[in-house]
Amino acid sequence: MYRRKKFAPARRCAGRRRRGNRVLEDLLSITILLCSAALLITVLAPWEEGSAYSAGQDTDVCWPEPLPAEPPLPADRGEPFPAEPVPVDSWQLLLVNRWHSLPEDYSVQLVELRNGFQVDERCYPDLQEMMDDCRAAGLSPLICSSYRTQEKQEQLFQNKVDRLTAQGLSPEEARTEAAKSVAVPGTSEHQLGLAVDIVAADNQNLDQSQETTAVQRWLMEHCWEYGFILRYPNDKSEITGIGYEPWHYRYVGAEVALDVRESGLCFEEYLLLREETLAANPEA
């Protein structure tokens, strides 16, 4: 093949050369055009997309494509991972019980739920998500109590005292007895705006039968994922000062809720342990 081409007649050879030159010229023109177009696209593309970044920046950072959606967190999130632990004086850790009254200057920004109840706006997104997910599981949870004013708590407490005195108790005895089931005004977590009573639509009785409902079973299993804890467990009444309430949930934020759940402690015990741990390890 090589020898035949080398010794081909001069005319045919000249014709081939001309055709070859034309093809080469065409190829060269196309190549130059393609290179110019590629260069223009490379330089201009980020600006055509409306990027605020200069063309010289690292495209891993500035390429203006939308980020893929963040994958959902698994239900079992393991160890808490915030860079900073929740500060001891955080609103999420504020303790209100019969021994710790609401601070006198306490104020709260409220947001109204669809059913007219109000909660602290800081717990609202997580509460809404918890209720939505509970409903998505095929259940029917109902919020039957949330934020209460001082006046409302006084009214509830007085109603209980009146019922007990009507049963024959002295005013003193009635107040002592009433305080076992209704928080003394100024000492109810509901006045924080961070506590909600949730019942099952098909059982709205505020008694122990709540714990057997599918709604409470779901809430008790999942509430910590949304930053809530079951505030008054069955075996901690002497420490919390309130009897077992399988319907009362308190918002403490996801980090603390996870800690409380893993510790198996009630909120009072958890706060004490946290205080002691921090005192022993001030750098922790």
Residue 148 touching Zn ion (CB under 5 A)? no
CB 190 → Zn ion: shortest distance, Å? Answer: 6
Residues 193-212 that bind Zn ion (CB under 5 A): 197
Residue 144 touching Zn ion (CB under 5 A)? no
Residue 268 touching Zn ion (CB under 5 A)? no
Residue among 230 and 260 whose Cβ is closer to Zn ion: 230
Q: What is the DSSP letter of 99?
A: T
CB 158 → Zn ion: shortest distance, Å? Answer: 18
Among 148, 160, 248, 274, binds Zn ion (CB under 5 A): 248
List CB contacts of 179: < 8 A, sequence separation 6 or more. Answer: 98, 157
Residue 177 touching Zn ion (CB under 5 A)? no
CA gap 55, 45 in Å, rounded: 9
CA gap 196, 120 in Å, rounded: 11
Task: State the catalytic residue, choosing from 121, 172, 238, 245.
Answer: 245
Residue 245 is among the residues annotated as catalytic for this protein: yes
List CB contacts of 203: < 8 A, sequence separation 6 or more. Answer: 209, 210, 213
CB 227 → Zn ion: shortest distance, Å? Answer: 17
- Contact status, residue 153 vs residue 188, Cβ threshold 8 Å: yes
Residue 142 touching Zn ion (CB under 5 A)? no
Residue 236 touching Zn ion (CB under 5 A)? no
Q: Which residues pair with 50 in a beta bridge?
A: none
Quickly count: other Cβ atoms within 10 Å of residue 244's Cβ. 18
Residues contributing to the site for Zn ion (CB under 5 A): 197, 248
* Catalytic positions, written as ranges: 245
